[in-house]
Amino acid sequence: MKKQLYLSLLALTFLAGVTFSQKVSSYRHIPEKTPVGFESEINEFLRQDSISFPPARAWLFTGSSTIRKWDNLKTDFHEIALIHRGFGGSTMEALDYYMDYIVIPYKPFKIIVYEGDNDLAKGVTPDEFIRQCDTFIKRVHEKLPRTKIYFLAIKPSPSRLKFMPVQDEANYKLKKLLHKRRNTGFIDIRPLMYDQSGKIRQDYFESDMLHITGECYKIWADFIKERLQIR
């Protein structure tokens, strides 16, 4: 009797271990280096998802460090359920690459994208950037045709003044693209970044003169909420 009980407990322990291992290994993760990098950041998102998957029909905010460093995002947009998926240093190419990991599975109601800063600084042409944005739109709408996608304009930054001509070209072409594509929109935050004399407000930037401050984020949030009628 004792032997049978021991064997039964041993079997249950083994099965529990197998089940646990299956649960641990069942969630998606990036096992090795990819052509675009950011594996550790994406794996952290996937780890979070495996613990508590975000609700469907939430608003997804994604893109580069301008989104990642928005520390008060959920407070600034307390009116809505949102998913915060910015990964610093990213490009539109990287976002396209990881779309099936951190965009499509969430089935978001609306998507807010900020990319372009790093792309253009690395030598990506405005035309190539626009093609990558269009790829994002088409692939999202293949799976989620009713999801509306908004792109934030590439912001002017004191540390990247030399890139402003290509930024202006990319913003112009992005706005033109979004005018043609259904369920998309262009949110032009650029006017918010200048003072009354037409100079970039340096007080809206951190010491690196690239990343914006909490005060600037709050102004962006108010503008976006008014633009998208978030109440």
Domain extent at residue 187: 23-228
pLDDT at 28: 81
Is 30 within a domain? Answer: yes
User: In this structure, is residue 103 part of a structural domain?
Assistant: yes
The predicted structure's pLDDT at residue 90:
97
In-domain check, residue 79: yes
Distance from the Cα of residue 225 to its chain's centroid: 18
Residue pLDDT, tens place only, 83-104: 999 999 999 999 999 999 999 9
Residue 170 lies in a domain: yes
Residue 206 lies inside a defined structural domain of this protein: yes
pLDDT of residue 4: 54
* DSSP per-residue letters across the chain: -HHHHHHHHHHHHHHHHHHHHHHHHHS----S--SS--HHHHHHHHHHHHHSPPPTTPEEEEESHHHHT-TTHHHHTTTS-EEEEE-TT--HHHHHHTHHHHTGGG--SEEEEE--HHHHHTT--HHHHHHHHHHHHHHHHHH-TT-EEEEEPPPP-GGGGGGHHHHHHHHHHHHHHHHHSTTEEEE--GGGGB-TTS-B-GGGB-TTSSSBPHHHHHHHHHHHHHHHT--
* 205 found inside a domain: yes
Query: Which CATH number goes with the domain that contains 81?
Result: 3.40.50.1110
Four-CA torsion 198, 155, 79, 107, nearest 10 degrees? 160
Cα–Cα distance measured from residue 51 to residue 65, given in angstroms and rounded to the nearest whole number: 24
In a domain, 11, yes or no: no
Q: For the chain, what is the domain count?
A: 1
Task: Enumerate residue ranges in the chain where pLDDT < 70.
Answer: 1-27
Q: What is the mean pLDDT of the chain?
A: 91
**Residue 2 within any structural domain of the chain:** no
